[in-house]
């Protein structure tokens, strides 16, 4: 098929390589998948007004995120269970992020532990957190992430229950038996039972705390000194409340359109969030970023940086660490 020349091409390669259950898990969105398409389509409705005759011989793409200097405002979003995509899973992603000198966010539901990912070598890493009903589990996990050198918590706030992803229900999705949710292995929470719908949906229903509210954002600050990014904000109202409750930053996200369908694309929600933040905290975006122009549009509309999710798992499936490196390089070049 010739050389891969853009990020989107990795999806078709991943589809060919991966078992249907795994590909569908990574690719699908909630219900009608309207927001899934809209996350990308919305970018194409935003046009440039290019200014000319500006000296562009020296371009500096470095930026500072929560005080950490990175090579570009393009970072890696948390995506679960990466060893389903490639045997090296999160190890490969961590090495690719380090090589590109950017930030990787490790999912709570990774198939490699915080300690294992830290063992790949130096790098700036954030930890995505799901709040379990058992708060002792949460405390332990946050402490382990901090000890392993992680620099921030990305608290996912849009998943009191799992979105209805129909292909996962049809496929009776479950974590392949050779893999575990490594961060929970010793806690008997590392395995997913077969269910008559989605095994992950059943796991979430059993373990994740639906009572989660703003008081818990406050509570998290009492157990860690890591800054907390609130991931899954789409409105001005919640932006203001997040900042009042001590959030160090906001990630405008609709969970890759996998949670509530018929929410706006993140690029369309960005403006009201940026306005409400009033520069008090940085605002980031994930969802639908596939081109350098998408990154530029997000920055132009006030984002401090973006995170990519699916492009990472698809390129990982296709070419392992080299694929993830290439995705980061292509977006950078564009």
Residue 1's pLDDT band (cuts 50, 70, 90): low
Q: How far apart are CA 329 and CA 19, in angstroms?
A: 27
CA distances (Å), 147 to each of 60, 119, 151, 241, 286, in order? 33, 12, 10, 29, 27
Average pLDDT over residues 238-253: 98
CATH classification number, 7-47+60-333, choose in 3.20.20.70, 3.40.50.300, 3.90.550.10, 3.40.50.12780:
3.20.20.70
Residue 195 has pLDDT above 70, yes or no: no
Spatial contact of 307 and 105, defined as CB atoms under 8 Å apart = yes
Give one word for 48, left, alpha or beta, with left for phi > 0 and alpha for psi -120 to 50.
beta
DSSP state of 132: B
Length of the chain: 334
Active site residue 255: yes
Spatial contact of 74 and 296, defined as CB atoms under 8 Å apart = no
Q: Which run of H or of E encompasses 205?
A: helix 199-207
Catalytic residue among 151, 182, 255, 297: 255
Summarised one tens digit per residue, pLDDT across range 287-298 is 999 999 999 999
Could you tell me which residues come within 8 angstroms of residue 152 by beta carbon, excluding any fewer than 6 positions away?
Answer: 66, 126, 127, 226, 227, 228, 229, 248, 249
Q: How far apart are CA 39 and CA 254, in angstroms?
A: 9
Summarised one tens digit per residue, pLDDT across range 60-96 is 999 999 999 999 999 999 999 999 999 999 999 999 9
Average pLDDT over residues 122-137: 96
pLDDT of residue 202: 87
Residue 200 has pLDDT above 90, yes or no: no
**Which residue positions form the known binding site for FMN?**
78-80, 107, 128, 130, 156, 231, 253, 258, 286-290, 309-310
pLDDT of residue 60: 98
Q: How far apart are CA 189 and CA 140, in angstroms?
A: 13
Mean pLDDT across the chain: 96
Nearest of 297, 316, 89, 68 to residue 328 by alpha carbon: 316
Cβ-in-10-Å burial (0-12, 13-18, 19+) of 54 comes to exposed
pLDDT of residue 159: 95
Instruction: Report strand pairing: 125-129 vs 74-76.
Output: unpaired
pTM, two decimal places: 0.97
Residue 198's pLDDT band (cuts 50, 70, 90): confident
CA distances (Å), 175 to each of 2, 22, 113, 188, in order? 33, 9, 16, 15
Q: How far apart are CA 229 and CA 217, in angstroms?
A: 10
Residue 205's pLDDT band (cuts 50, 70, 90): confident
**Which residue positions form the known binding site for glyoxylate?**
25, 165, 255
Summarised one tens digit per residue, pLDDT across range 32-64 is 999 999 999 999 999 999 999 999 999 999 999
**Which residue positions form the known binding site?**
25, 78-80, 107, 128, 130, 156, 165, 231, 253, 255, 258, 286-290, 309-310
How open is the CA angle 119-120-122, to the nearest 5 degrees? 90
How open is the CA angle 89-113-62, to the nearest 5 degrees? 70
pLDDT of residue 14: 98
């Amino acid at each position: 098929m010739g050389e891969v020349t853009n990020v989107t091409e990795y999806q078709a390669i991943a589809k060919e390589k991966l078992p249907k259950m795994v590909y569908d898990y990574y690719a699908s969105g909630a219900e009608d998948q309207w927001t899934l398409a809209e996350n990308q389509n919305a970018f194409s409705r935003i046009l440039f007004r290019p200014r000319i005759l500006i000296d562009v011989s020296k371009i500096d793409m470095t930026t500072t995120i929560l005080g950490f200097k990175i090579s570009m405002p393009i970072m890696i979003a948390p995506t679960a269970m990466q060893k389903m995509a490639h045997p090296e899973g999160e190890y490969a992603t961590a090495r690719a992020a380090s090589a590109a000198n950017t930030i990787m966010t490790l999912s709570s539901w990774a198939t490699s532990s915080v300690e294992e990912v830290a063992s790949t070598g130096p790098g700036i890493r954030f930890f995505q957190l799901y709040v379990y009903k058992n708060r002792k589990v949460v405390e332990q996990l946050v402490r382990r992430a901090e000890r392993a050198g992680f620099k921030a918590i990305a608290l996912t706030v849009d998943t009191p229950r799992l979105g209805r992803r129909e292909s996962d229900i049809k496929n009776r999705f479950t974590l392949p038996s050779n893999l575990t949710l490594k961060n929970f292995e010793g806690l008997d929470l590392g395995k997913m039972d077969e269910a008559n719908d989605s095994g992950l949906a059943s796991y979430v229903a059993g373990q994740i705390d639906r009572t989660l509210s703003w008081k818990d954002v406050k509570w998290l600050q009492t157990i860690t000194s890591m800054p907390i990014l609130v991931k899954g904000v789409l409105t001005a109202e919640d932006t203001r409340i997040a900042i009042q409750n001590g959030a160090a930053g906001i990630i405008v996200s609709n969970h890759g359109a996998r949670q509530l369908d018929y929410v706006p694309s993140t690029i369309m929600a960005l403006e009201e969030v940026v306005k409400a933040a009033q520069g008090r905290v940085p605002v980031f975006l994930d969802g639908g970023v596939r081109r350098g122009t998408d990154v530029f549009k997000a920055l132009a509309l006030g984002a401090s940086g973006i995170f990519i999710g699916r492009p990472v798992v698809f390129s990982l499936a296709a070419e392992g660490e080299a694929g993830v490196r290439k995705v980061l390089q292509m977006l950078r070049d564009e």
